[in-house]
Structure 1
Amino acid sequence: MDVQEARKRLAFLERAEALKDTFRSGFTSGGRSEDTASHTWRLCLWVLVFEDQLAGLDMAKMLKMAVLHDLGEAVSGDIPATEQVGDKSADERADFIELLGDLPDPDAFLSLWDEYDGATSDEAKVIKGLDKLETILQHTQGKNPADFDYGFNLGYRREATAGHPLLKMLRAMVDEKTRGRMEAKVNKELR
């Protein structure tokens, strides 16, 4: 690798650092706003934790998709699920392309992002489902504001978690945790 190519890769990594300062609408269990980089890290961990249940799927591809799936948010930020209207894919894709800049082979990353976004492979479908489950689980763990709408979780992207037996099982478990948070909130309000 020559020095110029190495500089381009470093420049990309510097731009991607913005993901550490890109906040989501959820909160950590300690009450801090969750950042997108932390969400991405835990999505990767989901893949590793359930790898034995995903036989036949390409784990390296899934981890790459998990790392790349929200990277465009480093440019324009995250849009909370409750505020999303229409198809946000085109904007996210444009942001992702902008972030890639002049990497030597941006098409490899873009191809994986497109596969994830379109859910055109079994790997992409599972990552999409795990992504939604990670978000919902964080909502059940977060130190959320008093007006947090846990009910939203119960219908959130249900279709993304319905295709694989593991996703279905995990969805039922995460929904149970959501119902527990809803019940705890009602009991707190009644006191």
Structure 2
Amino acid sequence: MSVPARLTPLLDQFDWACERLGNRLAGPFVDSGNGTEVAAPALTDEEYLWEPVPDCWSVRRRVAGPGPGATFLTGAGAWGRDTAPFPHPTPPPFTTLAWRLSHLAEMLALRADHTAGGHSMTREDYRVAGDAAEALADFAASAAAWRAALAGADDAALDTVGYCTYPYGSDPEDAFLSTVWWVNQEVLHHGAEIALLRDLYRARRGQA
């Protein structure tokens, strides 16, 4: 199937954003944006779970229970991600790199399922990664699943309201092209947050 012309720039943007974020986390280098390679050491478990301020929301072992201000740990498996039912705490809690990467991977996996899968996956079904290597693999797999779902969309699908039935957003009320745009901005803005956390972690340790 040929890619609709309207989708091509959004696909290119998604691919570039995921590639930059993946390289920023896995290393050994990342494109600075102008073609210059900048060193990017691979994410460690210590950095993945680093809490730069008190009372962070993060991913935690289920047996430890939720963190400050959270009421439960969402997800499946031995680890979960801090959360609370709506309305969320105000001001919003600061979230760790682990929380943000888990959120991104979960969102991509669930939206892929609710677009081209069984349309049944929930946050409680998503297995939360407890270490850096697993989290990086999960993000890559989730991004690939969402891209495959996009590749199957034709022009009619892009205009279809509710083509994606993802239950944790406005997707059932939106044309699919709007959902695609929204997912891209999620990857871009959370990717930027993750990159800043990496810079802060490096500065904290006095590294160049």
Q: TM-score, with normalisation over the residues of structure 1?
A: 0.30
Larger fraction in helix: 1
Q: TM-score, normalised by structure 2?
A: 0.29
